[in-house]
Chains A and B, each alone.
Chain A
Amino acid sequence: AQSVTQLGSHVSVSEGALVLLRCNYSSSVPPYLFWYVQYPNQGLQLLLKYTSAATLVKGINGFEAEFKKSETSFHLTKPSAHMSDAAEYFCAVSGYSSASKIIFGSGTRLSIRP
């Protein structure tokens, strides 16, 4: 079954520091990959998605992710954290077992220290 693994259930960084949230997928065929963000007491919204057009994907709010087939990874980064980035982030995958399903990772909660 398709899956994604997010390393680290909680990441804490200082304001202005680099944000790195890790995601690895399990597939012999490159899947379609997504990063979603969830702010407190809200639903999920799309940050960015990988569609095979480019390995470096830019999303909203200054986030980007790089697809690395050799490492089966799709890590999310932001050069400089802002207090408003505090939220839960989910990596997700679809495409190679059923096109209609999106399967989510367990999530990483990002905290920003002043």
Chain B
Amino acid sequence: NAGVTQTPKFQVLKTGQSMTLQCAQDMNHEYMSWYRQDPGMGLRLIHYSVGAGITDQGEVPNGYNVSRSTTEDFPLRLLSAAPSQTSVYFCASRAPGQENTEAFFGQGTRLTVV
């Protein structure tokens, strides 16, 4: 059982480049989220989705786009990378309908923007 799979694990971008961070889950979870982790700031929510075709903004959405065309996939797009987007990115999924269900996390993508 793969769980939540993120690709790539590491990426270096130049300022202004665009890229897509991939996230896929095989648990049929409706809820999926993207977080960024920065030292001393914990995990901050970028975007989230409650099902295919439905997305919403989190705490720090600027500079990122998402779409959810299938239940399994939730890609995160950086439109024009900036050094401030250097971070570790985590994708998570949860079973639907219950506030107390746990989130399952991918292994993360470490992104450096130079």
A interface residues, Cβ below 8 angstroms from B: 6, 9, 31-32, 34, 42-46, 49-51, 90, 94-95, 99-107
Contact B105 A44 (CB under 8 A): yes
Q: How far is the CA of A32 from the CA of B50 in the complex (A)?
A: 18
B interface residues, Cβ below 8 angstroms from A: 4, 31, 33, 35, 40-45, 48, 50, 58-59, 90, 92, 94, 97-100, 102-103, 105-108
Known: A43-B106, A49-B100, A106-B40. 6 other contacts (CB 8 A): A42-B108, A43-B108, A50-B100, A100-B94, A101-B45, A107-B43
A94 contacts across to B, CB distance below 8 A: 99-100
Q: Pick 20 A–B contacts, CB within 8 A, sort by A.
A: A6-B42, A31-B99, A42-B107, A43-B105, A43-B107, A44-B43, A44-B92, A46-B102, A46-B103, A49-B102, A94-B99, A94-B100, A99-B99, A100-B48, A101-B33, A101-B45, A103-B45, A104-B35, A105-B42, A107-B40
